[in-house]
């Protein structure tokens, strides 16, 4: 994992996954050092990732007051229970549905949950975090937010895109890619992560993008994209095109067998 600052008081806790045939998917969590510090998501649910140790390189986990769970998928919840132990005063910001989904594996302690719906705001001492539903999502419990002090939008899965290398996924910026390459990556991710975009009314879908236009954030921080600084208009143009993009079709069994045949049992190429 890599850590780096974006703006004056936000830190990226960056990780990634290599997805064959797609690319290196960034998997970011964030630390917002507000008066009441906020951790946004808690990383991958993999045994070799120690989210709390990585967070400890940025701040004392005991000082965390809020854990904003943008949605309860496994790539967002990896360190949540360890962090709740390490941060005894922290509460988990989620929705009724988000907390309910968590009960299918391990329930959150309900006395430490704070329900917040899109359209509502959270006061973290020196700023308001304004909750909204991102236009693209893969989980119905998804809630992002806009930090009105820093003009940063935390968009959860929306605006994601696979990167060509792990280094770029974890240490780069979205504008390291050529605009046409970034657009292709984001449209690919939109069709992979939000395949419903092809079957909804395009006009109704595009109406959900209007709140982002009204925010006009200077920086967009997605779970699955390197930080995007002063690129909002370009990226909004891209996701506006998502209903018209080619649907994603993954490999079938024949393709899987062909891939497996190229590897020896030890995992090395034949």
Q: Angle of helix 232-240 relative to helix 179-193, nearest 10 degrees?
A: 50
In a domain, 211, yes or no: yes
Average pLDDT over residues 77-96: 98
Longest Cα pair distance anywhere in the chain, in angstroms?
58
Average pLDDT, the chain: 95
In a domain, 266, yes or no: no
In a domain, 65, yes or no: yes
Computed on alpha carbons and rounded to an integer, the radius of gyration of the chain in Å comes to 18
In a domain, 270, yes or no: no
In a domain, 133, yes or no: yes
Average pLDDT over residues 8-37: 96
* Position 100 confidence tier, pLDDT thresholds 50, 70, 90: very high
Average pLDDT over residues 110-114: 98
pLDDT per position as a tens digit, 168-207: 999 999 999 999 999 999 999 999 999 999 999 999 999 9
CA dist 250 → 147, 253, 262 (Å): 36, 10, 18
How many beta carbons lie within 10 A of that of residue 71, not counting itself? 25
pLDDT of residue 266: 56
d(CA 117, CA 142): 10
How many domains, in total, are found in the chain? Answer: 1
In a domain, 269, yes or no: no
* Position 270 confidence tier, pLDDT thresholds 50, 70, 90: very low
CATH code for position 142: 3.60.15.10
Residue with tokens 């989620």: 94
Which residue from 129, 139, 148, 247 is spatially nearest to 188, judged by alpha carbons?
247
What is the arrangement of strands in the sheet containing 144-147, beginning at the earlier edge strand?
Answer: 121-123, 128-132, 144-147, 152-156, 219-222, 228-229
pTM, to two decimals? 0.94
Average pLDDT over residues 197-220: 96
pLDDT of residue 269: 47
Structural domain including 218 reads: 2-261
pLDDT per position as a tens digit, 32-75: 999 999 999 999 999 899 999 999 999 999 999 999 999 999 99
Separation of first and last alpha carbons in the chain: 30
In a domain, 267, yes or no: no
In a domain, 268, yes or no: no
């Amino acid at each position: 994992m890599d850590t780096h600052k974006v703006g004056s008081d936000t830190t990226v806790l960056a990780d990634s996954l290599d997805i064959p045939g797609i690319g290196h998917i960034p998997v970011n969590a964030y630390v917002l050092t507000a008066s009441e510090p906020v951790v946004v998501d808690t990383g991958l649910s993999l045994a070799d990732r120690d989210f709390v140790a990585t967070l400890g390189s940025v701040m004392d986990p005991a000082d965390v007051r809020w854990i904003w769970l943008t949605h309860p998928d496994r790539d967002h919840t990896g360190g949540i229970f360890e962090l709740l132990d390490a941060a005894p005063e922290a509460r988990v910001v989620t929705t009724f549905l988000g907390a309910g989904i968590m009960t299918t594996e391990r329930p959150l302690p309900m006395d430490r949950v704070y329900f917040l719906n899109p359209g509502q705001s959270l006061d973290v001492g020196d700023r308001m975090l304004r909750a909204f539903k991102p236009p693209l999502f893969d989980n119905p419990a998804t809630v992002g937010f806009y930090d009105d002090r820093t003009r940063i939008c935390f968009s959860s899965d929306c605006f994601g895109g696979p990167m060509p290398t792990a280094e770029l996924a974890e240490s780069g910026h979205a504008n390291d890619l050529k605009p046409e390459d970034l657009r292709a990556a984001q449209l690919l991710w939109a069709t992979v992560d939000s395949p419903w975009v092809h079957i909804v009314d395009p006009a109704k879908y595009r109406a959900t993008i209007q709140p982002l236009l009204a925010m006009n954030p200077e920086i967009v921080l997605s779970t699955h994209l390197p930080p995007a600084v002063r690129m909002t208009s370009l990226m909004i143009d891209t996701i506006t095109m998502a209903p018209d993009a080619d649907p994603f079709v993954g490999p079938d069994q024949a393709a899987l067998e062909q891939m497996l045949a190229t590897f020896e049992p030890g995992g090395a190429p034949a």
